[in-house]
A and B are shown apart, each in its own frame.
Chain A
């Protein structure tokens, strides 16, 4: 069945460091891929998405490229800020399953000044 595997945390970085959070997926067909962010005590917010192979999603300095050959959708940011501290979730969906989402277990990021 469909699934998402993302790197385990927690991840701790200094401000202005480079961030990579790995995400790989298993799915038949052509899923859409998403990154969500969750701040403490809140719901999830969509960070970026990509709907087909080689698409690059980007938002607020974060980027991820849909790589079908490696079934990956790694999240990157060139220079993290303290305000980026949150939990990041990778997810996929397929229209053929009624837009049901499959989430990774989340990666906690802490950025220290």
Chain B
């Protein structure tokens, strides 16, 4: 079955540590996205990538970093510079060529930093 996997589902870290969240897709999609969701709020875009080895900042990129070395993978690193990292993180992917396409979402990673 095609889809998006995110691991782990729950992640706990101490303040001051960097942490990397995994996102893999086998849908052969060109574009991948990272969102942050806080309780009772909508989704805010962190970073997105439309092609391998290229990515752009979203609305709240500060304190985060990404890489896109393979089409299938788009890992997100939450650095110690992110002031309030505890949140639910969602990865998504979509086609991009020739039109507007729905985004497919992974199951999410809940990060807790204490």
Contact = CB atoms under 8 A, between A and B. Distances in A.
B99 interface: yes
Contact of B104 (A46, A93, A104): A46
Interface residues of B, number: 28
Nearest to B106: A43
Interface string A97-113: 01111011110000000
Contacts of B50: 98-99
- Interface of A, secondary structure class, is strand
A89 B43 contact: yes
Contact of B99 (A36, A42, A95, A106): A95
Contacts, number: 65
Contacts of A22: none
B105 A44 contact: yes
Interface residues of A, number: 24
B45 interface: yes
Contacts of B99: 32, 51, 95
A105 B107 contact: no
A74 interface: no
B100 A51 contact: yes
Which has the most chain A C-beta neighbours within 10 Å: B95, B103, B104, B107? B103
B48 A100 contact: yes
B1 to A, nearest CB: 14
Contacts of A49: 102
B45 A100 contact: yes
B96 A44 contact: no
A44 B88 CA distance: 12
Given A42-B108, A43-B90, A49-B102, A103 B42 contact: yes
**The 4 nearest A-B residue pairs measured at CB:** A43-B105, A32-B100, A105-B42, A44-B105
